[in-house]
Amino acid sequence: MLESLRTGLQGAIKKLLGTSVVDEAAIKEFVRDLQRALIQADVNVKLVLSVTENVQKRALEEKPLGGMTRKDQIVKILYEELDKMLGGEQGLNLAKGKTNVIVMLGVQGSGKTTTVSKLARFYSKKGFKVGVVAADTFRPGAVTQLRTLAEKIGIDVYSDEKQNDSIKVAEQGKKAFEGTKNLIIIDTAGRHKEEKSLLDEMNSIVSKVKPDVNLLVVDGTIGQQCYNQALAFHKNSPVGGIVITKLDGAAKGGGALAAVAATGAKIAFIGTGERVDDLEEFSSTRFVGRLLGMGDLKSLLEMAKQLESEVDEKRVQRMTSGKLTMDDFLFQFEQVNKMGSLKKILDLVPGLAGNMKTEDLEKAERSMKTWKSIIQSMGKKERESPDTLNAARIKRIAKGSGRSEKEVRELLSRYKQTKTLMKASKGREFRQMLRRAGGQGALGG
């Protein structure tokens, strides 16, 4: 996502970190590199100038905080200014104890229907009972599109193909789900001859349905043009949040984000692909961290410190010398668990973020739980030398843990892989991760 912006910003940082003296000339060159990267991402020129002016002024004037190098300080300033540009902490707050109604708004093809299904999935995973309403009566096939998407993820759909009045469908859908659902998402039509009629329909839906949130969907590929679109909608009737879609591969995505933030509306979510899981709750802090390639260093540092203190060197040596017991294997995973979910970790570890799909990560987390229960039903000897397990023992362990033999064998094969890998790399990666996390000059300078 936003590869070129990321490369541009990281290039500027790398160059700064590589200079021997951070003087005025170096700071100005850094600022020019930033400008280039931001303008290439279609961030509005005025905005670029104001952001980089702040960076330059602060970089020249502010004294590094205790323990920080000058370079760290400048990167931190950039981090803060970009965070501010993208609106700080945002997101959407839905209440669990009531029925929340979201109406989707946005021009044709912006990604409303797709986003409806993504949101339904997102919130149903969080424990909401979700129903979606197909109130796009305009485009043929719109109802089928929503039904197909919703059925795949087991979400109930309200539609009435005989009703041409979208506002009626929206109202009836809301009524139909009230009482049984606590989140109702209403999909609307984006197709209109002109912006005015779209805005008019938006007004009628909003006044009749009285949603808790008007959620505007904008297409991130149009870059800074998002500003006018978001502003037009926002002025017409304040939007409670904006979803910027198609940020996967959108060269102008940075511009889109900055433009939307500049309207004062909240960026609630970003769409990062066509699949139903390609939706992220937006947090500018996290986002900028990833853009700059250093993740949320502060929390990573805190977690890593705790983690490091718990790793005893003896164990590391045993693990890396090729004598890996099942307990060590489990320990390794527990360390990761302790730090939070895998996905969270990967977002925090510089360079790893975004390389893995949520699905894969969830699978890994599920496997971990399974493995744990299997390992716990192994005897002491078996844990120490798992290589000696024969078919009969595998059967017994499977029975004892309530897992299948196949799962036990999978664990054993992963264990063997890990052992080989650990030995081959002499645990380099494992140590490196700890060192990088707990280590010195956090920002690398």
Question: What is the binding site for ligand GTP (CB under 6 A)?
Answer: 106, 108-114, 136, 139, 142, 190-191, 245-246, 248, 271-274, 278
Q: How far is the CB of 328 from ligand GTP (least distance, A)?
A: 41
Contact partner at residue 114 from ligand GTP, Mg ion, none, CB < 5 to 8 Å by partner kind: ligand GTP
Q: How far is the CB of 93 from ligand GTP (least distance, A)?
A: 23
Asked if 166 interacts with Mg ion (CB under 5 A), we say: no
Q: Which is nearer to ligand GTP, 199 or 434 (CB)?
A: 199
Q: Are 330 and 374 in contact (CB under 8 A)?
A: no
Q: How far is the CB of 408 from ligand GTP (least distance, A)?
A: 40
The residue with its CB nearest to Mg ion is 113
According to DSSP, the residues that pair with 213 across neighbouring strands are 102
Q: How far is the CB of 142 from ligand GTP (least distance, A)?
A: 6
CB atoms within 10 A of CB 298: 12
The residue with its CB nearest to ligand GTP is 190
Residue type, 98: K
Asked if 188 interacts with Mg ion (CB under 5 A), we say: no
Contact partner at residue 110 from Mg ion, ligand GTP, none, CB < 5 to 8 Å by partner kind: ligand GTP
Contact partner at residue 98 from Mg ion, ligand GTP, none, CB < 5 to 8 Å by partner kind: none
**Choices 68-76, 111-119, 267-275, 302-310 (CB under 5 A): range interacting with Mg ion:** 111-119
Contact partner at residue 117 from Mg ion, ligand GTP, none, CB < 5 to 8 Å by partner kind: none
Q: How far is the CB of 128 from ligand GTP (least distance, A)?
A: 21
Q: How far is the CB of 166 from ligand GTP (least distance, A)?
A: 12
Q: How far is the CB of 154 from ligand GTP (least distance, A)?
A: 19
Q: Which is nearer to Mg ion, 107 or 324 (CB)?
A: 107
> What φ, ψ does residue 19 adopt, rounded to 5°?
-75, 150
Q: Which is nearer to Mg ion, 112 or 266 (CB)?
A: 112
Contact partner at residue 108 from Mg ion, ligand GTP, none, CB < 5 to 8 Å by partner kind: ligand GTP
Per-residue tokens: 369:
């739980």
Residue type, 148: T
Q: Which residue has the tokens 């996905």?
A: 343
Asked if 137 interacts with Mg ion (CB under 5 A), we say: no
The residue from 113, 221, 245, 272 that contacts Mg ion (CB under 5 A) is 113
Q: How far is the CB of 214 from Mg ion (least distance, A)?
A: 16
The number of residues that bind Mg ion (CB under 5 A) is 2
Q: Which is nearer to Mg ion, 26 or 132 (CB)?
A: 132
Residue type, 81: E
Q: Which is nearer to Mg ion, 113 or 229 (CB)?
A: 113
Residues engaged in binding Mg ion (CB under 5 A): 112-113
